[in-house]
């Protein structure tokens, strides 16, 4: 690895002792522990007793006593003051062989040596660690004739375009919208924001991007994707307002025929390879209530929120209480005359302090002035997804599937009781399914759907909807709810991957043919037999295990390494063998049956009518990293 240094933080040079000490009051103690150990090897940082505390959905380790936390802040202040007093010049990350120990100190986990590669990449010490490094320089004539089409300019597509550019591989990026950002270009409803840490929702090359919030609202997420497009000069290479309608493999030419339609009509491109980056929460799903078309007021899906919508003085219906519904309803309640929330099934809510708030300015100061703070803040923020989602066969509880799952349930129930102070309302807001058998929802303990339900201008309706009519909504009990506007927070066609494109591979086989039995599947979430030179970002069973950014980066480097073989060896096609595809998916389905989303009490996109999950990944991040980091030649057919 090349030497990695930070440039001089100019603010630190003029900072007072008081400013440094004040900023460190807002630092994560476990991050300070790891960072200081990596830079100083201070043995006093090694043996600190830890305890486990809730961290939103999950749990994390923190110092067990206040004295150790104070000691970490004191040592960090001493380090920063000394660093300032010596000029705050360029500083190296320190010995690479110390990083595993530093990471163990931060996470409180015993990180195995064979897992260290993933953690090192996630640290983003090398922001281009997931870029293609040619093992053999490609022949220019082969490289220039190889063309890739990337579909979608959201998180995955922008990274794919950037990595192709860095590798020197010609490409065309096609985007159906007028701008970049994917889901964040489309989801602009009030309250739309991340429910995972913004730091982890960032490419490793964006490690130092100045996010203003721990969980950014949609405008800030959009700013990040605009930054990627403009900072790396990708925008000029994007074909906007153009939708790919079909992909057809030409066996004679060994190329994909990419048919698309836009402002200038239909056109066709031919590509040696295609990377789809269309996401899976990208096609709004509307209900089919009788009479929807007769409603005389405005109505919309949350993903199609009309710009400039005026809510003051209006009666608004919010239909659906998944993540979007629980986000949008309390925000509408702050402006509208009245909000009626139609809830079929409640979802588990978890308090995340500061969820709706920006970072304190001291945290942003640390990002700019404490060496490698942004790197260490990327990892170790929380843990336990594997534990909270497992089905423990030796654990007996009518409502939970494991000890960790029960702790999460108890935490959520306690939060409901504390906020609502009403047994009947607590019962109405308690899901019938175990935690994480459907998507859980992060909320701010200071203001959320629970606070909105206590407002005089909010009504919760749990009776099913019979129909929509000219003036509002009628429920199954015959009650009429007159409203001025209907907001459908009813989710997406989440399990219909690559919808609505028509994709035809070898011998006329369509993707629907391949997926007719059991629904959408892919090898390592990205390749399908009979569909050469085609990779899917955020493909089947890539929800979980890794963050979206990491999954996109790893699938992209996997695809580029396959393309490298085609280009350097003069080959024309690579596809996964059928036996490897089914071996992986059999293993995945078996593992998913041991996860909480297999519980029959849940009814969500996590589990399909085929009796399996098309979305969820049951493996650990390390396992998926090993699968994707280098192509397995024996699993591939290269011709």
Whether 420 and 500 share a structural domain: no
- Does 314 lie in the same domain as 217? no
Q: Dig out the tokens for 303 from the structure.
A: 């993903």
Q: What pLDDT score was predicted for residue 10?
A: 76
**Domain presence at residue 209:** yes
- pLDDT of 381 reads 47
CB 481 within 8 A of CB 470: no
> Quick one: 334 and 457 in the same domain?
yes
* 399 lies in the same domain as 500: no
Q: Are 177 and 225 in contact (CB under 8 A)?
A: no
In the DSSP assignment, the letter for residue 279 is: -
Whether 394 and 511 map to the same domain: the answer is no
Q: Is residue 268 part of a domain?
A: yes
C-alpha 533/C-alpha 484 separation (Å) is: 50
Same domain for 397 and 515?
Answer: no
Reduced to 3 states (helix: H, G, I; strand: E, B; else coil), residue 563 is helix
Cβ(355)–Cβ(443) under 8 Å? yes
Residue range 225-255, pLDDT digits in tens = 999 999 999 999 999 999 999 999 999 999 9
Contact 300, 306 (CB under 8 A): yes
pLDDT at residue 141, rounded to an integer: 95
Classify residue 120: in a domain, yes or no.
no
Nearest CA among 59, 240, 75 for reference residue 152 = 240
In sequence order, what are the residues at sequence separation of 6 or more whose Cβ sits closer than 8 angstroms to the Cβ of residue 306?
A: 298, 300
Enclosing domain of residue 75: 5-111+365-377
Q: Which residues does 595 contact at the CB level (< 8 Å), separation at least 6?
A: 389, 390, 391, 613, 616, 618
pLDDT at 114: 85
CA atoms within 13 A on the CB side of 450: 29
Domain shared by 477 and 556, yes or no = no
Beta strands 502-504 and 338-342: pairing type? unpaired
- Residue of 223, 179, 224, 227 whose CA lies nearest to 200: 224
Do 405 and 538 sit in the same domain of this protein? no
Query: Considering the domain boundaries, does residue 382 fall inside one?
Result: no
Q: Which residue has the tokens 């700013």?
A: 223
* 128 falls within a domain: no
Distance CA 638, CA 574 (A): 4
CATH number of the domain where residue 586 is located? 3.50.50.60
Residue 9 confidence (pLDDT): 65
Count of structural domains, the chain: 3
Whether residues 448 and 551 fall in one domain = no
Token duo for residue 381? 């923020």
Give the count of beta carbons closer than 10 Å to the beta carbon of residue 339.
Answer: 29
Enumerate residue ranges in the chain where pLDDT < 70. Answer: 1-9, 380-383
**How many Cα atoms are found within 13 Å in the side-chain-facing hemisphere of 272?**
22
User: Cα separation of 153 and 434, whole Å?
Assistant: 36
Q: Is 353 a member of any domain?
A: no
CB 85 within 8 A of CB 77: no
Q: Are residues 505 and 632 in the same domain?
A: yes
Could you tell me if residue 133 is inside a domain?
A: no
Q: CA 261, 267, 271: angle at the middle one, nearest 5?
A: 110
Same domain, 504 and 627: yes
The per-residue pLDDT for 4 is 41
Give 516-534 as a 3 state SS string.
Answer: CCCCCCCECCCECCCCCCE
Domain's final residue, options 488, 521, 555: 488
In tens, the pLDDT along 524-558 reads: 999 999 999 999 999 999 999 999 999 999 999 99
Q: What is the pTM of this model?
A: 0.96
Where does residue 430 rank: exposed (0-12), middle (13-18), buried (19+ CB within 10 A)? Answer: middle
Residue 118 belongs to some domain of the structure? no
For residues 516 and 414, membership in a common domain is answered with no
């Amino acid at each position: 690895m090349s030497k990695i240094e930070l440039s001089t933080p100019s603010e630190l040079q003029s900072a007072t002792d008081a400013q440094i000490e004040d900023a460190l009051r807002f630092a994560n103690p476990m991050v300070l522990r790891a960072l200081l150990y990596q830079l100083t090897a201070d043995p006093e940082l090694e043996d600190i007793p830890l305890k486990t505390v809730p961290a939103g959905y999950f749990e994390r380790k923190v110092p067990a006593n206040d004295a150790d936390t104070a000691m970490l802040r004191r040592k960090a202040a001493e380090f920063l003051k000394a660093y300032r007093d010596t000029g705050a010049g360029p500083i190296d990350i320190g010995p690479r062989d110390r990083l595993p120990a530093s990471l163990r100190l931060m996470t409180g986990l015993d990180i195995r040596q064979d897992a260290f590669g993933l953690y090192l990449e996630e640290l983003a010490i090398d922001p281009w660690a997931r870029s293609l490094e040619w093992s053999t320089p490609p022949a220019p004539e082969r490289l220039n004739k190889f063309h890739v089409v990337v579909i979608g300019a959201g998180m995955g597509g922008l990274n794919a375009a950037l990595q192709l550019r860095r590798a020197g591989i010609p490409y065309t990026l096609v985007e159906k919208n007028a701008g970049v950002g994917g889901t964040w270009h489309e989801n602009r409803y009030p309250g739309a924001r991340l429910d995972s840490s913004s730091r982890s929702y960032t490419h490793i090359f964006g490690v130092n991007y100045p996010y203003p919030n721990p969980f950014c609202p949609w405008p800030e997420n959009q700013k990040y994707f605009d930054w990627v497009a403009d900072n790396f000069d990708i925008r000029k290479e994007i074909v906007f307002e153009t939708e790919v309608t079909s992909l057809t493999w030409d066996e004679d030419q060994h190329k994909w025929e990419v048919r698309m339609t836009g402002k200038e009509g239909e056109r066709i491109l031919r590509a040696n390879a295609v990377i789809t980056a269309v996401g899976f929460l990208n096609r709004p799903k509307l209900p089919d209530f009788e009479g929807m078309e007769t409603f005389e007021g405005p109505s919309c899906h949350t993903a199609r929120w009309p710009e400039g919508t005026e809510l003051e003085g209006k009666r608004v219906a919010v239909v659906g209480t998944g993540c979007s519904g629980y986000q949008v309803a309390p925000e509408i309640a702050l402006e509208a005359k009245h909000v009626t929330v139609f809830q079929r099934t409640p979802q588990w809510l978890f308090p995340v302090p500061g969820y709706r708030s920006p970072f304190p300015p001291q945290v942003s100061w640390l990002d700019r002035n404490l060496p490698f703070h942004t790197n260490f803040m990327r990892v170790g923020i929380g843990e336990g997804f594997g534990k909270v989602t497992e089905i423990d066969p030796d654990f007996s509880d009518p409502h939970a599937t494991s000890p960790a799952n029960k702790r999460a349930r108890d935490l959520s129930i306690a939060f409901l009781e504390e906020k609502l102070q009403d047994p009947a309302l607590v019962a109405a807001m308690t899901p019938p399914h175990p935690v994480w058998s459907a998507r859980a929802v992060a909320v701010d303990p200071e203001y959320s759907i629970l606070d909105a339900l206590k407002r005089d201008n909010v009504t919760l309706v749990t009776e099913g909807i019979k129909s929509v009519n000219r003036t509002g909504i009628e429920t199954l009990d015959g009650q009429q709810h007159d409203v001025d506007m209907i907001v459908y927070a009813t989710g997406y066609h989440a399990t219909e991957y690559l919808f609505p494109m028509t994709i035809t591979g070898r011998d006329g086989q369509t993707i629907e043919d391949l997926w007719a039995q059991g629904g959408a599947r892919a090898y390592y979430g990205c390749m399908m037999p009979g569909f050469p030179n085609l990779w899917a970002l955020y493909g089947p069973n890539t929800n979980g295990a890794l963050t979206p950014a990491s999954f996109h980066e790893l699938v992209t480097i996997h695809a580029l390494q396959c393309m490298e073989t085609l280009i350097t060896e003069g080959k024309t096609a690579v596809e996964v063998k059928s036996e490897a595809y089914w071996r992986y998916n059999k293993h995945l389905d078996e593992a998913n049956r041991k996860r909480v989303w297999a519980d029959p009490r849940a009814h969500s996109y996590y589990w399909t009518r085929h009796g399996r999950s098309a979305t969820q990944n049951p493996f650990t991040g390390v396992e998926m990293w090993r699968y994707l980091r280098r192509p397995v030649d024996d699993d591939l057919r290269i011709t």
